[in-house]
Structure 1
Amino acid sequence: MSAPTPYHPPVKRSVEIAGHKTSVSLEPLFWDALRQAAQSEGLPINALVAQIDAQRIASPKPPGLASAIRLWLAARWLANDGQYGADQ
């Protein structure tokens, strides 16, 4: 039996940032990575997304929230020498 494919359309989920609900569409691979990152940071997903959102807003040319989450996860992965899920 082969592993499930990483190619899946985005899934929309609701998150709460600073008391406001918003929806974010990410591929399941990124939702899984975000859950794992939140767990290793000792934070709820909403709190981690709020941190990513604050960093994104402070950037000179802020991307959309979903892109910011993907970029944050990729930067984290690269900072950990490509070790998926490694603690920083």
Structure 2
Amino acid sequence: MFAAISTTAPTKSIEQQVLRIISKRKAIKAVRLRRTASLSRDLRFDTVDLVDIILELERNFHITVPDEVPFNTVGDFVRYVTAHAA
């Protein structure tokens, strides 16, 4: 009678958007980003890169990311945005 509401589609869409934002920063194809990839070691992102990504995520998802939130992997960004995006 009632259609089931799927929660995976919005989550997948958020993940794809986050990966796109991260990939744009260093011209890395989004499909090549692994959630376990280290931002500093594997992707060679520096502090400026991370701040730019955070600012872009805040703009795109209308969220605020506190300074003390640690982001070490691609998955950290995906998890934070998924949990805090409206």
TM-score over 0.5 (shorter chain): no
Q: What is the TM-score of this pair, normalised by structure 1?
A: 0.31
Q: What is the TM-score of this pair, normalised by structure 2?
A: 0.32
Q: Per residue, is there more helix in 1 or in 2?
A: 2
